[in-house]
Chains A and B, each alone.
Chain A
Amino acid sequence: MATLKEKSPEVTVTPPVSAGNGLKTQEMVVNMGPQHPSTHGVLRVQLTLDGEIVVSAVPHIGYLHRCFEKHCEAMNDYNKVVPYVDRMDYVAAMNNEHGYALAMERMMGIEVNDRVEHIRVIMAELQRIASHLLAVGTFGLDIGAFTPFLHCFIEREKILDIFEKASGARLLYNYIWIGGLMNDVPADFKKDTTDFIASFRPQIKELNDLLSHNKIFVDRTANVGVLPDKVAINYGVSGPSLRGSGVKWDLRRDDPYSIYDKFDFDVIVGEGKMGTLGDCWDRYIVRVWEMEESLKIIEQALDSMPDEGDVHESIPKKVRPPAGEIYCRTETPRGELGYYIISDKSTSPYRVKARAPSFVNLSVLPAISVGAMVADMVAIIGSVDIVLGEVDR
C-alpha cells in the first residue's frame, strides 16, 4: 500500500570532481526565493551552481496560490468573478477584466455601445503602459539601477490617478463589468489623459537615455538569456517576451477583439540590435516601444470616442449564459490571456479556467538560463516579466 505522503525527491548533486591541483570542486544547490528581492514576488528557483555558473534552474511555484477556479465556481454569480480576475495579474487588472468581460459578452451575445468600447480600450492601454513601466523599472532595479525605477513609478502614479478618478481604486478596479462599465468616466477624463500623454512622451526618451542605452545596462542584458523564436513558439511564450524574439504576433492585430481593428499601430518586435535576437535587451526594449504604441492607440481612441452613450445600457439584469463553453483570448501586457468558461445554464460558472501568460512564459526559464551566471538569472527573470499572482492564480 502506498504511503499517504510521498517522500520528497532527493536533491541530486554531482559528486565532487577533482580540479587537478589537489582541490575538489562540487556543484552547489541554492534556493533563489521565495524570499529573494529579485524574484518579483514569491517565486522559488532552485539553482544548481557551478561556482557562479548556472547548471540548472528549476522554478517552483504555488506560493501565491489562491484557488481562483474554485472561488469562481463558488461565487454563484458571474459578476462576482470580476474582482477575482483583478487579483490574478494585479499590476494589469484592467486587462484581466477586459478579457473576462469580452468572454462573457460573446457567450451571451451582448453588444456594448461604442463609448464603452472606447473607454475600455483606453483603460486597457493605459494599464498596459502602467504595467510596462513597472516591468522596465523593476528590470532596471534587478540590474542595479535604482533611479529609473522611481522615475517609472512617478509616471505610473499618474495613470493610477486617472484610474482612481474613474473607478475609486488604484490597483484592483472592478471597473469593466459584463456588458458595460461600473460607471462613466469623470468629466475631465479626456483632459487628464491628454495631459498624461503630453508629459509621458518625453519621459520615454529620458528612460532610453538613462537606462536603455547605458553601456553597463547593455552589457548586462545583451546576449543574455537568448530565447530563439522556435523555442519561444514551442513553449507557447506570448506577449513582449515572444515579440522580443522577433515573432510578429500580437492578438490586437492578428485576432482583433473589441475595436482594436480600427486603430493604427505597429507591432514592435526585437531586432537583436545590441546583441543576439531574443536576448534580455530585446525583450526589454520591446516593452519600452510598446508604451509609445499604446500612446498612439489612446490618442486615436480619444479622438474617436463618442460623447454620448450610457455605459450601463447593456448590463444584463441577471447573468445566466446559455449552456456551452467559450475560449476567448486577449493581449495583456504579459501576453495571451485566455479565459475558458463553461456554463451549465445556471447563475454560477461551471468552470472558469484562465490561460495565464505569466505561467506559460515562466516555463521557458529552465531552457534559457543554463550556462548563465547568477547575476544573469536575475536579468532573465526580470526580462520575462512574470507576475506571481497570475502564475499561481
Chain B
Amino acid sequence: MQEFLESFMSSGPLVVFVFSIIPLKIILVYALFAIWLERKVAGHMQDRLGPMETGGWHGWAQTIADLLKMIQKEDIVPAKADRFLFKMAPFIAFAASYGAFVAIPLSSGYIGSMIDVGVFYIVAITSLLSVSIIMAGWASNNKWSLLGAMRTAAQTVSYEVPTVVTILSVIIVTGTLNLMEVTEMQSGNGFLGFLPNWIIFHSPFMILAFFLFFIAALAESHRVPFDLPESESELVGGYQTEYSGMRWGLFMLTEYADMLLLSLVGATLFFGGWNSPFGSFMDGPLWGAFWMLLKGMVLVFVMMWLRWTLPRLRVDQLMNLCWKYLIPLSFVNLVLIAFWEMIFK
C-alpha cells in the first residue's frame, strides 16, 4: 500500500503521514460506532431501546452529540493534583493503544510496519497503559483514584503473564512473531477439506488457548467482569474520578481502542486475520480489511455481551483466578501444544 500511495504522491513525508493515520481514522470511526453499539446492546439486553432520537435512525448520531458536548466541557484540574502528570496521563494511555496498531495487519495490503517482533512489540507497548493509569490515579490526589490505580497495576501485571503465554503457544505453531506472516500462514481452506486453516482449528488445545487468551484480554482491557480499575459502584470512578471533559473522553476512547486492539490480535492469532473464511471467495486487500474488522467486531460484541450479563469480581478473586487457574493452565497448555507440534509435524 505504501508503494501505491507513493505512486501518486511525490513527497515522502506526506506519504508516511497519510499512511500512519489510517489506524487513527479507523479507531475514531470505530469508537463512535462501538459506543453507540454498546448502548444499543445494553438497551436491548435490558428490555429498553437505547438511544432512539439523536440523528433520526435509531439514534445513530448520539455518540457524535456526546463527543461535541465533551469537547465543550470545562477542563477541570483539581487544585492539589500534580498538573503535569494529570494532564499527560490520558495522552499516554491513548498513545499506548494507538502505538500498538502499527504491528497489526489490517489487510493483506496494509500493515503499519513489518516489524519482525510484531506480537512482542504489541505486548510491550500496551504495558504503557498501566503506567498511564497509575499516573492518572496518583496525580489526581484522590484516594479512590489511587485505589483504582493500584488495582490496575496489580491486575495488568498479573494478566500479562497468561496473555503472553497463550500468545507464545501460538508462536510455537507459527514460528514467527510477525503478525503478517502469522496471517499468511493461515490462508487456504485445507483443514478437514473445508474448514479454513485457522490456528484455532489446529489442535484441540488451541481452542483452550483461545479461551485463556480471551479471558486474559478481557482483564487487560479492563472490561466486565474485570473492570475493577474504574468499578463505578465501589471506587466512584476509580482512576477516572477526577477527570472531566475531553481528558475523560480520551480514557474512554482508549478503553474502546484497547478492546478493538485485543480483539484484532485475537482475530489475527486464532481466526486467520484478514483471510476470508471461504478460501479465495471474497478475498483480496479490501475484502481482507472487511474480514479483519468483522472478526474483531464479533469479539468486541462478545465483550459487550459479557459486560451486560456478569457482575464484577473482587480484587482478591481476580488475582486468584489469574494465579491459581489461568497461569498454570496456560503453561500446561503451552507444553501440550509443544508436544502436539512435535508429534504431528
Give the interface SS of chain B, mostly helix, strand, loop or mixed: loop
Q: Is the CB of A219 within 8 A of B314?
A: yes
Contact with A along B228-262 (1 / 0, CB 8 A): 00011111100000000000000000000000000
- Choose, from B40-48, B101-109, B326-334, the stretch at the interface: B40-48
Interface residue? B311 (CB, 8 A): yes
Q: Is the CB of A144 within 8 A of B225?
A: yes
Choose one: B46, B147, B235, B311; the contact of A214 (CB below 8 Å): B311
Interface residue? B220 (CB, 8 A): no
Q: Is the CB of B309 within 8 A of A147?
A: yes
Q: Is the CB of A150 within 8 A of B314?
A: no
Q: Is the CB of B233 within 8 A of A219?
A: no
Interface residue? B160 (CB, 8 A): no
Query: How far is the CB of B143 from the nearest CB of chain A, in Å?
Result: 5
Query: How far is the CB of A65 from the nearest CB of chain B, in Å?
Result: 24
Interface residue? B74 (CB, 8 A): no
Q: Is the CB of A38 within 8 A of B313?
A: no
Q: Name the CB-closest residue of B to A31.
A: B143
Given A37-B232, A38-B233, A143-B312, are A374 and B147 neighbors across the interface (CB < 8 Å)? yes
CB neighbours (8 Å) of B212 from chain A are: none
CB neighbours (8 Å) of A210 from chain B are: 309
Choose one: A37, A143, A377; the contact of B236 (CB below 8 Å): A37
CB neighbours (8 Å) of B312 from chain A are: 143-145, 216, 220, 375
Interface residue? A373 (CB, 8 A): yes
Query: How far is the CB of A218 from the nearest CB of chain B, in Å?
Result: 10
Q: Name the CB-closest residue of A to B146.
A: A28
Q: Is the CB of B227 within 8 A of A219?
A: no
Q: Is the CB of B313 within 8 A of A216?
A: yes
Instruction: Give the size range of A's interface with the partner.
Output: 20 to 34
Interface residue? A313 (CB, 8 A): no
Q: Is the CB of B46 within 8 A of A150?
A: yes
CB neighbours (8 Å) of B317 from chain A are: 219-220
Q: Is the CB of A143 within 8 A of B143?
A: no
Interface residues of A in 321-350 (CB under 8 A from B): none
Q: Is the CB of A378 within 8 A of B309?
A: no
Q: Is the CB of A376 within 8 A of B314?
A: yes
29 contacts between A and B (CB under 8 A): A28-B143, A30-B143, A37-B232, A52-B315, A143-B311, A144-B225, A144-B231, A144-B310, A144-B312, A145-B310, A145-B312, A146-B46, A146-B308, A147-B308, A150-B46, A150-B48, A151-B47, A210-B309, A211-B311, A214-B310, A217-B311, A219-B313, A219-B317, A220-B313, A373-B315, A373-B316, A375-B314, A376-B314, A378-B233
